[in-house]
Structure 1
């Protein structure tokens, strides 16, 4: 697991509803909610610029975050993010409280190693990435920011399935618990395309 850390400052908000949310956004803040655990949900406001600067970090979406609400720290994960349909802005965020041993189901990005240098690519094959993320079951303290898939020995007409991924300790791919029919292909190498016109001339 990476040592990347993310912290956000937030304030409680009492006013709710569409009008209150519009006022918050005019002030450069976004409405959000924190829920889960044995504590009641809390409505909060977060600086729009602060959350925006984190969104370019892939790990922000699959990481235990620290939320500082008026001096009290909460460990949370980002559960949902509502973006503006066409503007580069965030409208609302949902955070779920977590504890170290809490069981989670989270989508985690896949990182593909040796895409350009694997055996199939060197032979002219076309690397086709089928899945870019995978849903995993784990505890909060074992949540990986990403999972690596090594293509080093993959050749033309070969593929890697979910069951062939080396998973971190304590992390399981949820789909595999549903049966063999859910063992989807993650990446495959197809033969190079043949130029039909050259073939015809030959």
Structure 2
């Protein structure tokens, strides 16, 4: 387990109590979920900031410690002050290693250097930079790999082409949604259009004028 936070239980709830916690250098929060009642807690601001900077806090399973007892939770949400950008509230969801949760996982694209479409000057058009999956809280993947090494211009990679980590399933199940496509670059499209114009037999306006003059003579 990476992040462990010491929490204190707030006896009272409400806006006033939350403000008092913030004045005391703490971030108010709530623990909910499971078969237990919600519990209002507070965490030291510097500990929350340290956890945020670690990159293993928001959207991750962590542990909360209170009176020597540890509780595994999933950091469901963090609210930030609109001006200072400091955290002002945290929602923790009780979990076990096997609890199924919905979480956004970033997509890591591989094989770009060998993709025929990209080699020909195409562009990787990313439709989804992350995918929401349902997976055990103890096995949240760091990222999901999308291999584009065989894609030609005009090809696409869909969720059915992705090998998801064991135990993970996409939350969208009613369609084979697109992750990314290989599209022709704007320069290539314009070049093709110019080529089509020439092949169509278009004659510059100056040449048309000269032909007309010759006929009149």
Uncovered stretches (5+) of structure 1, i.e. residues with no partner: none
Gap change, CA 1:40 and 1:163, over 3 Å in 2: same
The TM-score with structure 2 as length reference comes to 0.78
CA offset digits 1:1-31 (Å, max 9, x no partner): xxx7222221111132212212222222110
Question: Once superposed, what is the RMSD of the aligned Cα atoms?
Answer: 2.5
Q: TM-score, normalised by structure 1?
A: 0.83
Q: Describe the shift of the 1:54–1:157 C-alpha distance in structure 2 as closer, same or farther (beyond 3 A).
A: farther
Taking the aligned partners of 1:69 and 1:100, their CA distance within structure 2 comes to 20
Find out whether 1:49 has 2:46 as its counterpart. yes
Using the alignment, how far apart are the partners of 2:93 and 2:132 within structure 1?
A: 17
Greater per-residue helix proportion: 2
Query: Structure 1 residues 84 and 117, CA, compared in 2 at 3 Å: closer, same or farther?
Result: farther
Does the C-alpha gap of structure 1 residues 49 and 115 become closer, same or farther in structure 2, counting only changes over 3 Å? Answer: farther
C-alpha contact (below 8 Å) 2:127/2:178 kept by paired residues: yes
Change over 3 Å in CA distance of 1:29–1:37 after alignment to 2: same
With over 3 angstroms needed to count, the CA separation of the structure-2 counterparts of 1:114 and 1:5, relative to structure 1, is farther
Q: Quick one: which of 173, 176, 187 aligns to 2:180? A: 187
Q: How many residues align?
A: 194
Structure 2 regions of 5+ residues with no counterpart?
Answer: 199-217
Alpha-carbon distance in 2 for matches of 1:193, 1:54: 43
Q: Which structure is larger by alpha-carbon Rg, 1 or 2? A: 2
Larger RCO, structure (CA 8 Å, separation 6 or more)? 1
2:83 counterpart residue number: 86
Deviates more, 1:182-191 or 1:136-145: 136-145
Counterpart residue number, 1:21: 18
Alpha carbons 1:63, 1:145 under 8 Å: kept:
no
In 1, the alpha carbon distance for the partners of 2:28 and 2:77 equals 12
Q: Is the 8 A contact 1:109 1:133 kept in 2?
A: yes
1:59 shift after superposition: 4.4
Per the alignment, residue 72 of structure 2 pairs with: 75
Distance 1:95 1:52 in 2: 16
